[in-house]
Amino acid sequence: MEIVGFLVMLIVIGPIIGFAVYFHYRAKYRNADARYNFEHTTDAVLANLSYADDYVGEVRGVKAPWIAGRNDHTPTVRAHFVKVHAIDVDHADPPPLLTADGNPA
């Protein structure tokens, strides 16, 4: 019976709604997630773009709607490999930038 399944679902959903109400109001009062969204307001101009898009193969029959480990929408979260050459500090010559697997470009 469809109706029984629906009602059982509602019983389970009750506590979930309770939690949702609690977290909604807590967020509204405490604003613990509020921060300066500098990546949207800071004046930053991109120029001299070099790019490559190399076909590597086909992905077949996966169930995920996104690429595994997708992070293009979370710019504040650092990638797996991070390197900063602060030549404004040490005044060295600009180093060669590496490829993703750590080899010279």
Partner 1 sequence: MGSMPGFEPETPAFRGKVLDTSANKTNGLNRCPSCGSTEISPVYGTYDLVCGHCRQSWTGTSLEVEQGLGEGIHALKGRVTASGAARITDTSTLVTLKCGGCGAEVVINTATGHQRRCHWCRQTLSLDAQVPNGAVPDGILPFYVSWEQAVGHVKQFLAKRSYFASDDFKRNFIPHNVVGVYLPYLVVDGNIRARLDGHGEILKKTYKKLFDDKTVYYDANAYRVYREFDLVVDDLIVESSSHRAAIDPLVNTNNVVNAILPFDVKNMVAFESNFIGEFTSEKRDLDIEHALERVQGKFMTLARQKVVEHIGHYNRGVRWDAEQLVVHGTRWVSVYLPVWLYSHYERQPDGKWMLHYIAVNGRNGQTMGSVPFQKSKLLGLALVIGGSTGAAALLLLVVALLVAATG
Token pair for 66 = 């996104």
Q: Tell me if 87 sits within 8 A of 94, measured CB to CB.
A: yes
DSSP character at residue 65: S
Question: Least Å distance between CB 103 and partner 1?
Answer: 11
For the bound state, the minimum distance from the C-beta of residue 71 to partner 1, rounded and expressed in Å, comes to 6
Residue 91: partners with Cβ closer than 8 Å, 6 or more residues away? none
Q: How far is the CB of 62 from partner 1 (least distance, A)?
A: 5
Please check whether residue 76 is in contact with residue 83, taking contact to mean a CB–CB distance below 8 angstroms: no
Closest distance between partner 1 and the C-beta of residue 24, in Å? 9
CB atoms within 10 A of CB 9: 10
